[in-house]
Chain A
Amino acid sequence: MARDLAIDLGTANTLVYMKGKGIVLNEPSVIALNRQTGEVLATGREAWQMIGRTPGYIVAVRPLRGGAITDFEITERMIRLLLQRVGVSRFTRPKVVICVPSAITEVERRAVTDAARRAGAADAQLIEQPMAAAIGADLPIDEPVGNMVIDVGGGTSETAVISLGGIVALEAVRVGSFDIDAQIQAYVRREHGIAIGERTAEEVKVAIGSAAETEDESQAEVRGRDLMTGLPKTVVLTPEEIRFAIDDVVSSIIASVVRCLAKAPPELAQDFLVRGMYLVGGGGLLRGLAQRIEKETQVPVRMSNMPLEAVVMGAGHCIEHYDALKGMFMGARR
């Protein structure tokens, strides 16, 4: 008998929740392929370690960008392999709830459900990430009060106001923590004349990246390839430089939060001043982001207890209470 699954199919990581068991898989959304034969060589963490370090015949790719499938066939193969790893076979076809960005188009929606069905799911339903995040962050969304959740993911940032089990206002931008990495890469290239890979840029972000000035700031040494000489070179980056480099992305995320606040009905808007907004998603871990949002919106910002797992926990709750909550699935309302 197949156990039903909830999947957070993220641009950065894929998490799988199994009904009655909990989170059974948490791996980077990366697949490594043999460029010549098309064979899958690795998925998840193993493939992630290969990014930017492969010989010519291997390609390690993230098949999702901005929360959308950029390569349908590769995504389908990745989902199939991930489902196999959690015990799904041709004889056990589970029901699946998949979290997707709210701004997903009809075509993208169909691509995700088709990929899941072809990968072995008996039925695939979609739920908006901010709604799943609000459930997983344990916000009192069953009450007639304003709950605001900001989900900063790898490829998308979404802000939603939720009350009485439904989305009241929503704002999404296709900008996330991968764009922050890309800005760091571009800055180092432009200002220091060295090329660094996306994994190095991510390491810089984790080490010294911040959206606002914080205590205990330190510098970071970065090694890359000198664009003029082609030789390896080391440069020292400061937190101020990184803040400057990523400011466009951070400002874009904050602007979408402000737009969502402006859309909220006045009765709910007053609740935010008391209850605050909740930050979830890996991008929300950027140092100083909560403080910067708080400063620019004058609304308290709180970090969810489990920011990386909140979305899949919310979807997991939907799979546990499938019949009662099926009205929340995207197909049910459109």
Chain B
Amino acid sequence: MTTVIVIGVALVIVIALVVLFARGGPRQEPGVVSFRKHIDALSPEARREVMDRVRPPNDNDNDRSDG
């Protein structure tokens, strides 16, 4: 009886692993994903929001220096 249970459990684990690998397909490396996110966040489209939000330069600003 115990042998049957052990074989059954082993079979279930093997089937679960096979299904998991079959469904997963080619997985992307975490480095690729984060690099893609990083580059996408620097795209002109992503930056447009900030550019549009910032007010035009103040012509009355008499302190021209910047640091």
Contact = CB atoms under 8 A, between A and B. Distances in A.
Interface stretch (B10-18, B19-27, B38-46): B38-46
16 contacts: A13-B66, A64-B67, A138-B47, A142-B39, A142-B40, A142-B42, A154-B67, A177-B66, A178-B65, A306-B54, A307-B66, A308-B57, A308-B64, A316-B53, A317-B47, A327-B38
B42 A165 contact: yes
Given A23-B55, A313-B54, A327-B34, A154 B42 contact: no
A206 B66 CA distance: 13
Given A135-B42, A154-B67, A178-B65, A324 B37 contact: yes
Instruction: List the 6 closest pairs (A to B, CB-CB), nearest first.
Output: A10-B67, A282-B66, A11-B67, A154-B67, A324-B41, A12-B65
Interface of A: 8-13, 17, 21-23, 26, 28-29, 45, 48, 64, 67, 135, 138, 140-142, 153-156, 164-165, 176-178, 181, 202, 206, 281-283, 285, 306-309, 311, 313, 316-317, 320-321, 324-325, 327-328
Contacts of B46: 317, 321
A28 B66 contact: no
Contacts, number: 103
Given A67-B67, A282-B64, A327-B34, A23 B39 contact: no
B37 to A, nearest CB: 5
Nearest to B46: A321
Interface string B46-67: 1101110111011001011111
A135 B38 CA distance: 13
B41 to A, nearest CB: 4
Given A22-B55, A142-B42, A135 B66 contact: no
The interface residues of chain A, by DSSP majority, are classed as mixed
B42 A285 contact: no
Given A140-B44, A321-B41, A324-B41, A23 B67 contact: no
A325 B54 CA distance: 20
A320 B47 CA distance: 9
Task: State which size class the interface on B falls in.
Answer: 20 to 34
A306 B50 contact: no
A321 B37 CA distance: 10
Nearest to A22: B53
A308 B56 CA distance: 11
Nearest to A306: B57
Contacts of A8: 67
A206 B64 contact: yes
B48 to A, nearest CB: 9
A229 B39 CA distance: 64
B21 to A, nearest CB: 30
A12 B47 contact: no
Given A23-B54, A26-B61, A138-B44, 15 more contacts: A9-B67, A12-B63, A12-B65, A12-B67, A13-B66, A22-B50, A22-B55, A142-B42, A178-B65, A306-B57, A308-B64, A317-B46, A321-B46, A325-B42, A328-B38
Contact of A13 (B51, B57, B65): B65
A135 B51 CA distance: 10
B67 A22 contact: no
A13 B37 CA distance: 32
Contact of A316 (B54, B57, B58, B66): B54
Nearest to A178: B65
B66 A313 contact: no
Given A138-B47, A317-B50, A325 B41 contact: yes
Contacts of A12: 63, 65-67
A29 B43 CA distance: 32
Contacts of B54: 17, 22-23, 306, 309, 313, 316
